[in-house]
Amino acid sequence: MTQKVAIIGGGIVGATVAYYLSQLPGHEQQEVTLYDDGTGQATKAAAGIISPWLSKRRNKQWYELAKRGAELLPQLAREANFDNEVYQQTGTIITRTDEADLDALYLLAEKRRTETAQMGEVLKLSAEEVAQRIPLLTNAQPGVFVSGGARLDGSKYIDALLKIATNRNLTIKQQRVTLNSDGNVMMGSKLERFDRVVVATGAWMKETLKPLDIDVDVRPQKGQLIELSVKNIESHQVMPVLMPEGERDFIPFGNGQLVVGATHEDDATFNLEATGEAKDDLFRSAKQMIADLTIDKVTGMRVGTRGYTSDFAPFFGPIPFFNKVMVAGGLGSSGLTTGPIIGKLLAGSVIFGGQPDWSKFEKDINLYISKK
């Protein structure tokens, strides 16, 4: 018997759910429709770093989730045949200027490497050794190199997965929809009935779930990045991603392309206008790394809206008092790392049913979703 599934939101979670609903055993019985108008989507604006292992977040469940996400991505890249513009294991470098802080970071990396094969090689690098690996830098700092780190282009990731899914059982409708009180999809006045609904609308989730008389702990946060044209160093087309202390993330893509960002703007709500203030801030951060950089090298900006919870932890799973509807939200700035594993878990639950125990990866979902 065919199960009709709706996915509302085509960001990293929604696209991953759609992909796995077209690949996992039982996909032949799934008829999937994805709704998304693309407005403000955080994933399409993101060019992110996959390197959660040296995070000092105290939330152990978040770390387990992010660790699993970082392990899943190279497998997914092979299965979906991603090219290097989508996902590439480049290694990451996290810098510290204080020697004691650098030693502590290195010891943390060594400890976690014993538990996590995906981390690969861990090295403590001098400033000179960092500059050798990223010759764009004129003001390198000492750091810790983790060879298993990677970069992911969010927009290209989505496009690649949805293309695969549409060749099997996915229909995409590029429009914004609402739910009715029964959890079915409303396209204007037209009702579409589904057996399961997955809501992954990020910062817009409050609005999406409003007809169910549900309150959600999600707030919007604006993020902006800049794209720059830099020196093309043919001998270094693959450079590590840099997480410099006190500066914005530094993501070289080779062929003279560089992305720097992102901002975290809590007061901008759903404003998607690229601002001169953000451009100047991000450029100043880039110039700290490349002294001879000039403002005319900025070739573009990306703007998106992330969804955050009050404790910065993601939540996902069936709504406890409305099991037909599953949700995923609050991923924040770690969405490119945690989104794929959340999407796979949700897809498995849609197909196989049951009441999976995801307490290893998240706090009680009732902390974030409640009846009004």
Name the band, by pLDDT with cuts 50, 70 and 90, for residue 109: very high
Query: Rounded distance, CA 176 to CA 148, Å?
Result: 38
**CB proximity list for 149: less than 8 A, separation 6 or greater:** 49, 50, 51, 89, 90, 91, 92, 240, 241
Residue 336 pLDDT: 94
Query: Rounded distance, CA 158 to CA 164, Å?
Result: 10
Residue 247 pLDDT: 86
Residue 66 pLDDT: 96
Burial of 355 (0-12, 13-18, 19+ CB in 10 A): exposed
Mean pLDDT of the chain: 92
Residue 233 pLDDT: 82
Name the band, by pLDDT with cuts 50, 70 and 90, for residue 42: low
Residue 298 pLDDT: 95
Pick the CATH number of 3-44+155-218+311-371 from 3.40.50.720, 3.30.470.30, 3.50.50.60, 3.40.50.620: 3.50.50.60
Q: Supply φ then ψ for residue 358, to 5 degrees.
A: -110, 25
Share of the chain above pLDDT 70, in %: 98
Residue with tokens 């878990």: 345
Three-class SS state of 74: helix
Query: Rounded distance, CA 203 to CA 307, Å?
Result: 4
Condensed to tens digits (0 to 9), the pLDDT of residues 75-96 reads: 999 999 999 989 999 999 999 9
The Cα-based distances of 288 to 40, 154, 158, 364 in angstroms read: 29, 26, 32, 42
Query: Rounded distance, CA 369 to CA 372, Å?
Result: 9
Nearest residue to 192 (alpha-carbon basis) of 348, 1, 8, 2: 8
Residue 57 pLDDT: 84
> Where are the domains positioned within the chain?
3-44+155-218+311-371, 92-148+220-308
Specify the range with the lowest mean pLDDT, choosing from 169-173, 232-236, 288-292, 355-359: 232-236
CA 145 to chain centre: 22
Name the band, by pLDDT with cuts 50, 70 and 90, for residue 44: low
Residue 235 pLDDT: 74
**Is residue 3 a contact partner of residue 33, using CB atoms and an 8 Å limit?**
no
The answer, as to whether pTM is greater than 0.85, is yes
Query: Rounded distance, CA 116 to CA 95, Å?
Result: 21
Letter for the amino acid at 131? A
Spell out the SS3 assignment of 117-162.
HHHCCEEEECHHHHHHHCCCCCCCCCEEEECCCEEEEHHHHHHHHH
Is CATH 3.30.9.10 the classification given to domain 92-148+220-308?
yes
Condensed to tens digits (0 to 9), the pLDDT of residues 329-360 reads: 999 989 999 999 999 999 999 999 877 899 99
Angle CA(77)–CA(243)–CA(159) in degrees, nearest 5?
Answer: 30
ω before 15 within 30° of 0 (cis)? no
